[in-house]
A = this chain, B = another copy of it.
């Protein structure tokens, strides 16, 4: 089967986005704030978003299952306050849960956390436990920059993050390191902030002993790892010089998706990074929605690029499309087995 490890519910109805805008607007004015009940999205609206969107493209492109999470850009942990983040995470995760209940063969749930610039990461643990233990989520998106592009918080490898990582290890859920919208005009969201975050966190980890402290923590660096595989030689050299250890030691714990929107990029990724560490992902429907005028195909139809990598063996393809996802997300594997898959 073909598992897409990276999809967001970007096709929510407009009123749901408007509710969030209003919630943020009235963050400090609870009397006038919108009620949680008003964030309700009907089954019909879910069907409209999914069946005309991600499900349709999934079927057209020939993938089977998407790890599905709330819209990354809309997580916007920098907006509002800790209370609104808690409420928004809960509402968003519940909505994703409903999608995966309605389409259990096509979508498995991945959650967002109620992070906030002024809240320690450990405050996200109750929602993490709820989504995993009560709703059966198989993974979680962790935002390494809740400040929305100003990066005034602490690096991802600092001790304040450790309680969250402990909980992720205990629950055996991997984290996708995924920022939200950028409020810094220097960084376009999907064109810069996303890729910069991938690169920056990888480098933070390279400089740290994070996986000595958490040998079972597993992190997916999305968007093909930002700039990392393209600069694999730079990082190999820096790891040897700065840390006196080979970069490859990180590969027990770090994985990259294939959200790279042209064949040469995916070919480099699968050439440079061992195929044990590459998970198929497309991020559709997301950052780039159009078709390549040269080929007529969607830019984000990343399966085409993987299929065209001639050096890959059948075993490599199995790993990228299915095997690695089952290994990195044990709760996904258990869910699939329970479905007889």
Contacts and interface: CB of A to CB of B under 8 A. Distances in A.
A264 B271 contact: yes
Interface residues of A, number: 58
Interface string A253-267: 000000011101101
Interface in A270-311: 271-272, 287-290, 292-293, 299-300
A262 B293 contact: no
* Copies of this protein, total: 2
A223 interface: yes
B227 A199 contact: yes
Nearest to A191: B203
B240 A293 contact: yes
Contact of A237 (B149, B272, B288): B288
A18 to B, nearest CB: 23
B230 A230 contact: yes
A188, A234, A287 pick with most chain B CB within 10 angstroms: A234
Interface stretch (A26-34, A85-93, A102-110, A150-158): A150-158
Interface string A35-50: 0000000000000000
Contacts of A184: 151
Interface of A: 144-145, 149-155, 184-188, 190-192, 195-196, 199-200, 203-204, 206-207, 223-224, 226-227, 229-238, 240-241, 260-262, 264-265, 267-268, 271-272, 287-290, 292-293, 299-300
